[in-house]
């Protein structure tokens, strides 16, 4: 997932009490929630969702993969010979 942007307009702060962060899910469309930006004629991308910034600002964000994960790779030893 990636944070696409924030909505920090006064009307958003009044309605939700916080700015909102727009997250994009990289695994495709999985949610069926509203996509219209509140008070605007704009839609967020399919698979994206809003979250209150106060709910996510102090969270640890990590990347995860399938059960196999990302296979370990041998990396060159850049310090070899030092």
In tens, the pLDDT along 24-81 reads 877 666 666 667 788 888 888 888 888 899 998 888 766 665 656 667 777 777 666 5
Alpha-carbon distance of 11 to 52, in angstroms, equals 14
Angle (CA) 50-13-53 rounded to 5° is 45
Domain boundaries, the chain: 2-55
* Strand runs labelled E in the chain: 2-7, 20-24, 48-52
Predicted model pTM: 0.62
Three-class DSSP category at 59: coil
């Amino acid at each position: 997932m990636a944070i696409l942007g924030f909505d920090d307009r006064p009307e958003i702060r009044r309605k939700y009490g916080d700015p909102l962060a727009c997250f994009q899910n990289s695994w495709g469309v999985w949610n069926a929630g509203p996509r219209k930006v509140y008070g605007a004629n704009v839609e967020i991308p399919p698979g994206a969702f809003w979250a209150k910034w106060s709910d996510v600002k102090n969270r640890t964000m990590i990347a995860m993969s399938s059960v196999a994960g990302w296979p370990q790779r041998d990396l060159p030893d850049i310090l070899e010979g030092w």
